[in-house]
Amino acid sequence: MPHLGAAIPYIQGRLDMDTGATPRVKRTFPSSSEYFKEFFYDTVSYDARPLRYALETIGPDRVVFGTDYPFMS
């Protein structure tokens, strides 16, 4: 997912709460945050804090190098 997954790392708690609130959804997606750990996320970010948070929540094995080249201004 580009740009560290955009909002995904930040809303995982809310998604987990929402999937747990609906029994039918809970059977299909027991844990949203576990589901999102199946994706790969690129490192395109201009601040180290989101990168650290993504490494903590998603895991370093799912974060890959990314660049905006040649589109950086």
Amino acid at 20: G
Q: What is the pLDDT along the chain (73 residues), one digit of tens a residue?
A: 888 888 887 888 887 777 766 777 666 666 777 778 889 999 988 889 989 988 888 889 999 998 877 776 5
What was the pLDDT predicted at 30?
64
Two tokens at 1? 């997912």
Could you please report the per-residue DSSP string of 13-68? HHHHHHHHH-HHHHHH-S-HHHHHTTS-EE---SSHHHHHHHHHHT-GGGEE----
